[in-house]
Amino acid sequence: MLSEDERAVRDLVRDFVDEDVLPIIEECAYEGRFPKELIPKMAAMNLFGSTISAYGLPGLNNVAYGLITQELERGDSGLRSFVSVMSSLVMYPIYTYGSKEQKDRWIPALAKGESIGCFGLTEPDFGSNPGGMRTVAKKDGADWILNGAKAWITNGSIADVAVVWAKVGDLNGPVRGFLVERGMRGFSAPEHRMKMSLRASVTSQLVFEDVRVPAANVLPGVEGLKGPLSCLTQARYGISWGALGSAMATYTCALDYAKSRKQFKDRPIASHQMVQEKFAFMITEITKGQLLALRLGRMKDKGQMRPEHVSMAKRNNVWVARECAKLAREILGANGIVGEYPVFRHLANIESVFTYEGTHDIHTLVLGQAVTGIPSYNPPME
């Protein structure tokens, strides 16, 4: 069901994960270190902004991009998060809503991995309700003065540019996008410490204390929440594929283990009915999830995809990955908690993916509104 080009992209990233990611990722996660040394290799494969056709980028279709995220998350959710942020949450809004000068400056540098970006929407007190944000930008001559804070920001403390969403004027003003650069006075990005999930990923706060942002750093092409929400739709699409990569990793690990682990008259545990029932569930749900993601990608390429379609895929496929990780952990027994196997790392990672980019429950409400026509949010979201 995949084209030759799509398979080639998948296989390229699959080999990269096997050869460069898997040998180091357990140690990175244990140490709480993001593998920066992989950035040049990913840039050389055009993994950043791969669906963009300008600036020398390959202009891949959305199925190929989905396969990229699937294979990356088979390695680690944090690595896929890095590419998702760079592509969907930084390069996408700059390319879609930015000025020519902004695009010329940032897209090539981000594509080459020479600059790193992050996306600032979630705040310490506002996640599922982004419209409640308290970060505000006020006009001061030709510039803007930015105050507020963002939380749970992937790449925050290593980013050269942050795409920050803030209300303009006051808390009742419209939302605009600002390109906040490393080194601007009053801008800091302290890391979130003591994470038990996504340990091979950088997660930070963004703090703005009277940060002066030039007018040239405002995204001119969008106003309102549709700006950041359109970026989230792009990112959630990639996650709907990526989560299946995590499921593939835990399924494969558990299957290999069950075939080789012998108990009771020297029989492999894979021969037991209760274990086989787990594998039947896992392979069925992964296959269904891949068909859902593939259909979504084909619709996206035709311009037919809607946000509620993405909610369905993100909600379902991350749940599938979560269930597969739990079942794999059961199959491995005590070995399911050690770093010799990838299962517990994926189990911990998917807990974050289950929450970020729209929680499972929020996507449930999105689908509920789509099929009934009645919003159940209290108060209803715009």
| Residues annotated catalytic, as ranges | 357
Q: Write the burial class of residue 294 (CB in 10 Å: 0-12 exposed, 13-18 middle, 19+ buried).
A: middle
**What gap in Å lies between CA 256 and CA 28, rounded to an integer?**
24
Mind giving me the DSSP string for 55-87?
Answer: TT-----HHHHHHHHHHHHHH-HHHHHHHHIII
Whether the bond between 58 and the residue before it is cis, its omega within 30 degrees of 0, is: no
All residues at 6 or more sequence positions from 376 whose CB lies less than 8 Å from its CB, including other chains: 365, 368, 369
Bridge partners of 300, per DSSP, are none
Cα first-last separation, the chain:
38
Give the 3-state secondary structure of residue 145.
strand
Give the 3-state secondary structure of residue 175.
strand
Q: State the virtual CA torsion across 18, 115, 97, 54 in degrees, nearest 10.
A: -70
**What gap in Å lies between CA 151 and CA 208, rounded to an integer?**
12
